[in-house]
Structure 1
Amino acid sequence: MFVGRARELATLERRWKSSQFECVVVYGRRRVGKTTLINHFLDGRPTIFFPAIESNMTGNLEALSRSIAMYRSAAGGNITDASYTATDSFPVYRDFASALDAIFELAQRQRIAFVIDEYPYLAKADRSVSSVLQHAIDRNKDDSRLMIILCGSSMSFMERQVLGYASPLYGRRTAQIKVEPFGYTEVREFLPRFKAEDAAIAYGLTDGIPLYLRQIDDTTSIRDNIRWNIIDPDCYLFEEPGNLLKQELRAPAEYNTVIQAIASGASRSNTIATACHMEASSCATYLRNLIDLGILYKETPFGESSPRKTIYRIEDSFFRFWYRYVPTNMSLIRSGNADIAADHIMTSINDFMGAVFEDICTQWLWAHNTTGALPFLLLDAGRWWGADPRTRSQEEIDIVATGENPKTMLFCECKWRSVAVDLRQLETLRSRAELLHPQNSHYMLFSKNGFDEHVIARAKQDGDVTLVDFADM
């Protein structure tokens, strides 16, 4: 089953139909479904698909040559190039430039897609690859019908060394697609037999990563999915955080320590470094690399930019869940008592879902931005926190949003609780909103379990309050 990705498929389709040379960069974090997207789009279309490997250039040239030979064989073409050496089964090109020339020649006669999957592996095998590709594009693009798709999971590499200004390929791409994890709406499609609440929890458990969603069984309970598909020592997701760190990073143990410190409550760079017993400079490098992987993110209060207020949070909700629950329950899990651990986790699942629900509510706001459901057109939104001088306490607002007039603000409170939201939540939100000194204020309450009669009556009376029940989202 293929779900979602309508925008990405539409972009690829437009580029394919141009019949001119195209170079599309497709990138995104590992497990997010980039290769599945490309294969779905190219199904039935003439394609040379080259999966680059973590090897030297000789190994990659053999793999690329095999891909070209497979395409020629499927197309019924004869191999007449003089730029390769024969092996027992297929010709191997002498260098990357010769292979590219052959591919561009094939694309003179018909529309062909040439996919380099995990392009960073190829570029690391030979640093000249991007320059060679640049020169081949410059020589052939005017009379070629080739559509090149460069795909990569190394976010920092793709953004800096493929899309960046200093890259030899800068200016050669005709489109770029950053493939993001699924949102809550796509998760509902992916797990159609779940009720809305269970689908929301599944979204939180997996961060909307397609490969993780495939591990979830929507014919059984959330509790059993946690027990058998996340914390069971033999299941795929139990080892996933460690495996991903080992695959992407040179010092996985240190990165694991950094994530664990943040999961345990450290949020500022100096407190994280202290908790990890690291030098501040080393810790900063680890934080930056984890941000590049999409595991962490750096945040400042909405509308502010002071570095002194910067905090670090775990962006990937699957990692947030795993590091919150698995290490503390490891003794139970390893001793054969994972059932007890699962029951224990379920007692606080609503607390875990607080940040997830804020994310879902933010998605709802952007999805309804042009439908008339909001008081004004939103241009920016984020979380705010800060000190209340009236009470000398720290306060937080789940979502603050602004439009064309930055002093007209929407303030949102998101409650994933087992009871209805009451009037106290609205009054608290109004009080906190005053700390940002808006000229015009609008308020929105999101609730998993609806609203009591008092807050409903007040919302009708005030006229500047919108109540959104999760059941209606």
Structure 2
Amino acid sequence: MAGQGQRVVKPDHVFDRGAEWAGLASFAVRAVPRAMLGVVSGRRRMGKTYLLRALCEQLGGFYFGATAATEGESLRQLGAALAGHAGSRVPFSFATWDDAVSYLFDLAAPDRGGAPLLVVLDEFPYLAKAAPELPSLIQREMDRYQAEPSRMRLLLCGSAMSVMGGLLASTAPLRGRAQLELIVQPFGYRSAAEFWGVADSPELAARLHAVLGGTPAYRRQFLAEDVPESLDDFDDWLCRTVLSPLSPLFREARYLLAEEADIRDTALYHSVLAAVAEGNATRGGIAGYIGRKAVDISHPLNVLEDSRLLEREADVFRAGKSHYRITEPLINFYEAVMRPAWARLEIGQAREVWAQSAERFAAQVAGPHFEAVCREYLLGPGGALLGGSLGRVGSGIVVDPAARKQIQIDAAVVEGGSGGGRASVALLGEAKWGTVMGLNHLERLARARDLLTERGMDTGGCALACFSAAGFSDALRARAERGDVLLLGLRELYG
């Protein structure tokens, strides 16, 4: 059991998560004589519970995982968990949450020990739904133990992103009371490849990540370590797992949407997501696809953003313009490939459906996902290519008025002007999943750079980059030898 101020070593069985572990451990053992509150959130299956349980085991803390239950049943479950933690054969009994919260904070009284006491209330939205007064009761105790000494280190954790995000927002009772706010994200694409044991095959890793992303629970809990053995095994693996009605992953995309507390009409939300998966990424395009007015879809768009299932990305070249992107790969795969053929998949025709989905998978799943991976690369390991630039990484459209067309830039690094200086462009990139890139792609990037120069942006240090999962033509490779273009394939992205 770690003491106050002691370094807490991350167990070997906790993969990656170094930054998250360090933040949680620092919070849990911080040597201050006051109660401290932390909020941990993240979409389901990210490993939050696994991480927090490991921390409690290391520190001898108290962990309670709530379930969907009535107020009375939740209090009984908490009493039983506390009795087990204390070694009592008789469950503790609480008449109200007022009593329960007071008891938890009493456990952290200085006269009961010297080290901070870690208390984790997991799936907190279940508790707050059954007892809406719970955040206010915690606020009262937190305020009380700012003036009085306390060893309490309370972590509230949950997967309902809209609920957890609201705990510290606006006029919420716990606003301004937290010393830690941690969102547990999916593994990055490189970490995901290592987690699945496919880092030595970038081609397989890229396809796997395009379908399942960086969600750790899918390998261990859902698939019981069923991992594609090679790139040749990917199609068979997909048909026996994600596309099989016998697999837990088959309906997972539907469950992810249904589990969000603020989502009622799931059909409308699926239609919105399907519109984005089909390439209708603007508000107007989404509204037109589902047959609604743009103003009528504001609420579902906001809810999907709050749930972190949809992300609005601003155009880095056109102020006020933006597009939407599905953040959960499995949902995008479901909307693009599975939902249109759901009836056939349900009767076991996975191989037939997948055989006819190659074009759809490339255009609506792998292609857009590859573009996002290229931007992630520039934010991380690819930063060394930018000569120290810390500009904004994104995508956008450069309008070519003379040719009356638009040039899509899949990956760009732009620095805003400051102190009267001009905005500058550090990199312009194009990404292709299934196309061998040639000189025509480089010429398009060069044309975009010229147009941005004409608009007054500083492009003197702008690099041009071609990202391709399919390779590059001999002519483009020869051009790259001159040093004025970067060629980045899957091997480079996965390092």
CA distance in 2, matches of 1:373, 1:257: 40
1:425 aligns with one of 427, 441, 455 = 441
State the identity %. Answer: 29
Indicate the residue corresponding to 1:128 in structure 2. 133
Q: Which residue of structure 1 lines up, in the alignment, with residue 489 of structure 2?
A: 469
Q: State the 1:200 CA deviation.
A: 1.3
* In structure 1, distance between residues paired with 2:38 and 2:401: 52
Aligned to 1:37: 51
State how far apart, in whole Å, the 1-side matches of 2:304 and 2:368 are. 20
Equivalent residues in 2 for 1:33-432, closer than 5 Å: 33-73=47-87, 89-107=90-108, 108=110, 109=113, 110-141=115-146, 142-160=148-166, 162-193=167-198, 195-214=201-220, 215=223, 217-219=227-229, 221-248=233-260, 249-278=263-292, 280-306=294-320, 309-346=321-358, 349-351=361-363, 352-368=365-381, 372-403=384-415, 405=417, 406-417=423-434, 419=436, 421-432=437-448
Letter in 1 for 2:466: L
CA distance in 2, matches of 1:448, 1:313: 21
Amino acid aligned to 2:441: Q
- Helix, strand or coil for the counterpart of 1:444? strand
| Counterpart residue type for residue 38 of structure 2 | V
User: Structure 1's 448 and 55: CA in aligned 2 closer, same or farther, altered over 3 A?
Assistant: same
* C-alpha displacement of 1:382: 0.6
1:223 and 1:346 in contact (8 A); partners too: no
Q: Tell me, in whole angstroms, the C-alpha distance in 1 between the residues paired with 2:291 and 2:424.
A: 43
Superposed CA deviations along residues 53-108 of structure 1, whole A, max 9, x for unmatched, are 333322222222222111111xx7x9xxxxxxxxxx41211222322232223223
Which residue identity is paired with 2:378?
L
With over 3 angstroms needed to count, the CA separation of the structure-2 counterparts of 1:212 and 1:436, relative to structure 1, is farther
Confirm or deny: 8 A CA contact 2:413 2:428 kept in the other structure: yes
For structure 1, the residue ranges without an aligned partner over 5 or more in a row are 79-88
Secondary structure at the residue paired with 1:143?
coil
CA distance in 1, matches of 2:78, 2:283: 44
Give 1:83's aligned residue.
none
Question: What is the CA–CA distance in structure 2 between the aligned matches of 1:59 and 1:410, rounded to whole Å?
Answer: 57
Deviations 1:418-456 (A, max 9, x none): 63x322221111112333333222212223244334323
1:93-133 Cα shifts (integer Å, max 9, x gaps): 12223222322232231432111112122222222211110
Deviation per residue, 1:163-195 (Å, 9 max, x gap): 214222122211111111111111111111462
Q: Indicate if the aligned counterparts of 1:230 and 1:238 stay in contact, CA closer than 8 A.
A: yes
Work out whether residues 3 and 189 of structure 1, in 8 Å CA contact, stay in contact via their aligned partners in 2.
Answer: no
Shift of the alpha carbon at 1:281?
4.1
Distance 1:270 1:380, change over 3 A: closer
SS in 2 for 1:43: helix
Structure 1 residue 3 and structure 2 residue 22: aligned? no
Alignment partners' CA distance in 1, 2:135 and 2:36: 16
SS at match of 2:244: coil
**1:456 aligned onto 2:481:** no
Does the 8 A contact of 2:62 with 2:118 survive in 1?
yes
Which amino acid is 1:179 matched to? V
Q: d(CA) in 1 for partners of 2:60 and 2:75?
A: 21
Whole-Å Cα distance in 1 between the matches of residues 489 and 294 of structure 2? 44
Residues in 2 aligned to 1:471 and 1:322: alpha-carbon distance in whole angstroms: 28
Question: In the superposition, relative to structure 1, how do residues 391 and 302 fare at CA in structure 2: closer, same or farther (>3 Å)?
Answer: same
Structure 1's 311 and 348: CA in aligned 2 closer, same or farther, altered over 3 A? closer
Deviation at 1:240, TM superposition (A): 1.5
Unaligned runs of 5+ in 2: 1-12, 418-422
3-state SS of paired residue (2:385): coil
CA–CA separation in structure 1 for the residues paired with 2:157 and 2:240: 33
State how far apart, in whole Å, the 2-side matches of 1:369 and 1:466 are: 11
Report runs of 4+ in structure 1 exceeding 6 Å deviation.
Answer: none
- Distance across 1 between alignment mates of 2:71 and 2:451: 59
Aligned residues: 454
TM-score by length of 2: 0.85
2 CA distance for matches of 1:310 and 1:364? 21
TM-score (norm 1): 0.88
The answer to whether the Cα contact below 8 Å between 2:160 and 2:259 also exists between their aligned partners in 1 is: no
Give the direction of change, closer, same or farther, for the CA distance of 1:295–1:68 in structure 2 (3 Å limit). Answer: same
Q: 2:10 matched to which residue of 1?
A: none
